Structure 1
């Protein structure tokens, strides 16, 4: 069951009746069950001559109220991806989580099979995907219980092959309403556990728009659970 409505324009955007994908997803963020932050996922598409276009993805999260004094979070991640391949063009991260700070910029040159992370030039095998862009990439795929997808993801200098497993349908309630959802869970193909931050588990609505109604993000000091509040 679902209790929010999405404008018809969104269906046209997502399924190809227009060349633009523009959307803002707003979330309440919870840590150990306590509402500690507000988060946003925003996507837009920019035409770059001819039929080529760039997808812009913004993720940002900021703590609210007293939490901002106890354990402040102020994260902002800007990603540009190729609209045809959904592979990254650039990633800029400004992360503030308690005393932990991280600033980086990564530029990808797939035609040369290299990327530049901070001041280091690193070779890689194309394609790779940024974890936050995968939130949208899976919305373009067919999700059914038992489906598995293998993709190479990149975080900083590290490239990791992951398998994403789609579980059975479950009903979840978030601030935006009640949804039947499919959970997409990552695991490393080498069998090793995830270290530090970077793991995203995503629940998608079973309806045609596949809204990411809940996202669990592993941080340096625990997991931040994002629950969909509204769609702009």
Structure 2
């Protein structure tokens, strides 16, 4: 729940899937960043990916509380370590734990506390690179857990969130293969069930299994093959 200035680290000229490195998801090699608003705070951040539409970060911090007024972005968060506690303006309290999928909508106001896991918390964050109108607010405007029954495949809903900057949805594919024309948006993908094999213009194969995170960049062309017991399911985040 805090961002330093993002630096573009994706310089590849060949458009191919971008895998989220498991070392970053493990909290390894994340540089320390000095925050102007909280210079004394132990805070770490790395820009994992910055594409045409989306940016992906790994964030880590000692226990700290941010007072937020009209949160300026839609944010998807996968909480990796520690505990997040929020206090809304009406004094209602909510909490999130390791393994939770969280949506933080634009317009949220309240207190957000990241509680350290041993020493530091850890989270994966996805935001749009383009800002909506300053006055625009996503509905709902309160941080919430993505529906666990949908994520578990019990419910068949597809749209988990449609905000002013981000869409979060479930995409299901019957096992098979298809040709992908140039994609029109960055797609942040988390494989929920099955396996995905992607070939970019007859280049080497990229293989992603259940639990993997990757980005399918804007402008990608190639072949996508899915394998699964019944259906291959993905959580997909895109910018508006």
TM over 0.5: no
* Between structures 1 and 2, the one with greater strand share: 1
Higher relative contact order (CA 8 A, sep 6+): 2
TM-score, normalization by structure 1: 0.31
* Between structures 1 and 2, the one with greater helix share: 1
